[in-house]
């Protein structure tokens, strides 16, 4: 069964600290993996997209990694800011059709 699991479910960190969010998936055949940021009361917004051949991709203070062999991805946030407080959702696309598989998200709270 195609699934996407994220950990931790929630995380609280101090402003300025780094953190890493995890995503494990069983989706096959794999097409790509995306990380979305969802602010409270708003729709998800794409942060990064990674294909099978990509290991690392950065978007400012956000760095995503992908290990296609172990089917794991991580999102590393550097020097966190209060505005990073949001839910982060991992989404994996299946190569054969119109299927997107969503994780349940990690809720990140950055405190001063």
Partner 1 sequence: DAGITQSPRHKVTETGTPVTLRCHQTENHRYMYWYRQDPGHGLRLIHYSYGVKDTDKGEVSDGYSVSRSKTEDFLLTLESATSSQTSVYFCAIRGSLGSEQYFGPGTRLTVT
CA distance 97 to 112: 44
The rounded distance, in Å, linking the Cα atoms of 73 and 96 is 21
* Residue 1 is a binding residue for partner 1 (CB under 8 A): no
Whichever of 4 and 77 has its CB closer to partner 1, that residue is 4
Q: Which of 43, 70, 96, 112 binds partner 1 (CB under 8 A)?
A: 43
At 72, list the tokens. Answer: 């794991």
Neighbours of 10 (CB within 10 A): 11
User: How many residues of this chain interact with partner 1, rule: CB under 8 A?
Assistant: 20
Share in percent of the chain as helix, strand, coil (round to 5): 5, 60, 40
In the stretch 79-108, what mask flags binding to partner 1 with x, by CB under 8 A?
----------x-x-x----x-x-xxxx---
Give contact residues for partner 1 (rule: CB under 8 A). 31-32, 34, 41-46, 49, 51, 89, 91, 93, 98, 100, 102-105
């Amino acid at each position: 069964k195609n699934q996407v699991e994220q950990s931790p479910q929630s995380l609280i960190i101090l402003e300025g600290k780094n953190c890493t969010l995890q995503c494990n998936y069983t989706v096959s055949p794999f097409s790509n993996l995306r990380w979305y940021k969802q602010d409270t009361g708003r729709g998800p917004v794409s942060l990064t997209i990674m294909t099978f051949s990509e290991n690392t991709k950065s978007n400012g203070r956000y760095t995503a990694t992908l290990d296609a062999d172990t089917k794991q991805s991580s999102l590393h946030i550097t020097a966190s800011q209060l505005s990073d407080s949001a839910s982060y959702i991992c989404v994996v696309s299946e190569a054969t059709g119109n299927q997107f598989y969503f994780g349940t998200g990690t809720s990140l709270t950055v405190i001063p």
